[in-house]
Amino acid sequence: VSADARTANAGWEGFARRAGEQRFGAAGDAQESRGRGAVSALRQWVGVRLENELYALPIESLREVVRLRPITPMPRVPDHVLGIIALRGEMIQVIDLRRCLGLPAAQPRSGARIVVLRDRDDRAAALLVDAVTGVLRVPESDLRPPPGGESSKSVAVCRYRDVFVSLLDLDRVLGRDAA
Amino acid sequence: VATGKRNDRKAAQEFLSEAEEILERMRRDHAELEETWAEGSEPDPELVNRLFRSAHSLKGAAGMFGFETLGALAHHLEDVLDALRLGRLAGDSPAARLVGEAVALLGLLLEGLGESGSAGPADAATADLTRRIAEALASSGPAGEPLASLDLDPALAAALTEYEEHRLRENVRQGRHILVVEASFEILDFERGLTELTASAREHGELISTLPSPAGGADSEIRFALLVASGLEPEAFAARLGSASASVRCVLPRRTRSQAASGVSPRRPASPAREGQAPVESLRSLSGMVRVDIRKLDELMNLVGDLALQRAALGEMVERLLADPRTVAAGAELAKQRKLLERKIHALQTAVLNARMVPLRQVFEKLARVARQLRRELGRNVRLDLRGAETELDKLVAEELVDPLMHLVRNAFDHAIEPEPERLAAGKPAEGVIEIEARPRGNHVVISVRDDGRGIDPDRVRRRAEAAGLLWPGQTPTERELLELLFLPGFTTREDVSETSGRGVGMDVVKSNVTALGGVVELDSVPGRGTRATLTLPVTLAILQALVVRAGDQRYAIPLNSVLETHPVARAEIQRCDGRELWNLRGEALPLVRLAREFRLAAAPEPEKSHVVVLGVAEARVGLVVDALEGQQDAVIKPIQGPARGTRGIVGATDLGGRGAVLVLDAASLVEDGLRRRSAS
Q: Are strands B554-559 and B661-665 parallel, antiparallel or unpaired?
A: parallel
Query: What b-and-e string marks burial along B331-357, b requiring 16 or more CB atoms within 10 Å of the CB?
Result: beebbeebeeeeeebeeebeebbeebe
Which residues are registered as beta bridge partners of B616?
B621
CB contact under 8 A, A86 and B653: yes
Answer whether residue A66 shows pLDDT above 70: yes
Q: Which one of A76, A79, A123, A174 makes the best mutation probe of the B interface by having the most chain B beta carbons within 10 Å?
A: A76
Q: What is the pLDDT of residue B524?
A: 87
Highest mean pLDDT among A117-126, A155-164, B447-456, B638-647: B447-456
pLDDT in tens, B359-409: 888 889 888 888 888 888 778 889 999 999 888 888 888 888 888 898 899
Q: Tell me: the pLDDT tens digits for B606-628?
A: 778 899 999 987 778 899 999 99
3-state secondary structure of B394: strand
- A26 reaches B (C-beta below 8 A): yes
Q: How many CB pairs under 8 A join A and B?
A: 186
The Cα angle at residue B255 between residues B204 and B235, in degrees rounded to 5: 40
Sheet holding A154-160, edge to edge: A131-137, A44-50, A53-58, A163-168, A154-160, A143-144
A123 at the B interface (CB within 8 A)?
yes
End-to-end alpha-carbon separation of chain B, Å? 43
The pLDDT mean for chain A works out to 74
Contacts of B117 (CB under 8 A, 6+ apart): B9, B12, B377
Q: What is the mean pLDDT of residues B125-148?
A: 73
Predicted local confidence at residue B499, as pLDDT = 34
Assess B602–A contact: CB distance below 8 Å, yes or no.
Answer: no
Contacts of A46 in chain B (CB under 8 A): 187, 222
**B256-314 pLDDT, tens digit each:** 444 444 433 333 333 333 333 333 333 333 334 566 777 787 778 778 777 776 777 78
Helix (H) or strand (E) holding B500: none
- Residue with more model confidence, A121 or B43: B43
Q: Confidence band (pLDDT; 50, 70, 90) for B481? A: confident
B107-136 average pLDDT score: 75
Is the alpha carbon torsion for B202, B204, B209, B210 positive or negative?
A: negative
Instruction: Please say if the pLDDT value at position A89 is more than 60.
Output: yes
Query: Are the C-beta atoms of B357 and B392 separated by less than 8 Å?
Result: yes
Q: Which of A 159-178 lie inside 8 A of B, CB atoms? A: 174-176
Q: Which of B557, B550, B528 is nearest to B649 (CA)?
A: B557
The answer for residues whose C-beta is within 8 angstroms of residue B347's C-beta and 6 or more apart is: none
Average pLDDT over residues A30-40: 42
ipTM value? 0.77
CA distances from B358 to B290, B393, B442 (A): 14, 6, 17
Percent of chain B with pLDDT over 90: 13
All residues at 6 or more sequence positions from B397 whose CB lies less than 8 Å from its CB, including other chains: B517, B537, B538, B539, B540, B541
DSSP code of B5? Answer: H
**Residues on chain A touching B156 (C-beta within 8 angstroms):** 37, 41
- Contact yes or no for B643 and A89 at CB 8 A: no
A35–B208 CB contact, under 8 Å: no
* Bridge partners of residue B568, in order along the sequence: B611
Nearest one of B656, B348, B357, B393 to B518, comparing CA atoms:
B393
Which run of H or E residues covers position B166? helix B162-173
Residue of A nearest to B48 (CA): A28
Q: Tell me, what's the pLDDT at B53? A: 87
Angle, CA B475 vertex, CA B471 and CA B477 arms, to 5°: 85
- The DSSP string of B295-345 is HHHHHHHHHHHHHHHHHHHHHHHHHHHHHSGGGHHHHHHHHHHHHHHHHHH
Is A74 near chain B, with CB under 8 Å? Answer: yes
The answer on pLDDT for A3 being more than 50 is no
Residue A77 has pLDDT above 70, yes or no: yes
Cβ–Cβ contact A140 with B under 8 A: no
pLDDT of B261 reads 40
SS (HEC) of B208-263: EEEEECCCCCCCCEEEEEEEEEECCCHHHHHHHHCCCCCEEEEEECCCCHHHHHHH
Give the distance from residue A127's alpha carbon to the nearest chain B alpha carbon, in angstroms: 10
Type of residue at A67:
R
Q: Which of A42, A63, A72 sits opposite B212 (nearest CB)?
A: A42
Q: What is the pLDDT of residue B677?
A: 65
- Residue A116 predicted with pLDDT over 90: yes
* B630 in Cβ contact with B548 (< 8 Å): yes
Return the pLDDT at B143: 52
Confidence of residue A30 (pLDDT cuts 50, 70, 90): very low
* Chain B CB within 8 Å of residue A116 CB: yes
Considering CB atoms only, which of B211, B639, B660 is closest to A24?
A: B211
Asked if B239 has any chain A CB less than 8 Å from its own CB, the reply is no
The residue with greater pLDDT, B680 or A65, is A65
| For residue A26, pLDDT beyond 60 | no
Cα separation, B530 vs B523, whole angstroms: 11
pLDDT at residue B290, rounded to an integer = 64
**Does the beta-carbon distance from A137 to B216 stay under 8 Å?**
yes
Least confident range of B91-95, B177-181, B387-391, B656-660: B656-660
Tell me: the pLDDT tens digits for B450-461?
999 988 888 888
Measured CA distances, B507 to B255, B411, B533 (Å): 64, 9, 10
Contacting residues of A for B183, CB less than 8 Å apart: none
* pLDDT at residue B231 tops 90: no
User: Among B159, B162, B653, whose Cβ lies nearest the Cβ of A42?
Assistant: B159
Output A163 or A126, whichever has higher pLDDT: A126
B contacts of A124 (beta carbons < 8 Å): 641-642
Q: Does A3 touch chain B (CB under 8 A)?
A: no
| Alpha-helical runs (H) found in chain A | 8-21, 37-41, 97-100, 170-173
Q: What CA–CA distance (Å, rounded) separates B562 from B511?
A: 18
In this structure, are strands A113-120 and A62-67 parallel, antiparallel, or unpaired?
A: antiparallel
Q: Does the beta carbon of A60 lie under 8 angstroms from any beta carbon of chain B? A: yes
Interface check for B56 against chain A (CB to CB < 8 A): the answer is yes
Q: Closest Cα of chain A to B555: distance in Å?
A: 9
Arithmetic mean of pLDDT over chain B: 79
Q: What is the mean pLDDT of residues A77-106?
A: 89
- Tell me which residues of chain B, numbers 190 to 219, contact chain A at a CB-CB cutoff of 8 Å: 190-192, 198, 206-212, 214, 216-219
For residue A95, give how far its alpha carbon lies from the nearest alpha carbon of chain B (Å). 9
Taking CB atoms and an 8 Å limit, are B642 and A84 in contact across chains?
yes
pLDDT digits (tens, 9 = 90+) for B503-527: 445 677 788 888 777 778 888 888 8
Lowest-pLDDT range of B85-89, B437-441, B498-502: B498-502
Q: Rounded distance, CA B167 to CA A161, Å?
A: 40
Q: What is the pLDDT of residue A41?
A: 43
Model confidence at B11: pLDDT above 70:
no
Taking the CA atoms of B73, B75, B78 and B83 in sequence, report the sign of the dihedral they define.
Answer: negative
Name B605's Cβ contacts closer than 8 Å, sequence gap at least 6.
none
Percentages (nearest 5) of helix, strand, coil residues in chain B: 50, 25, 25
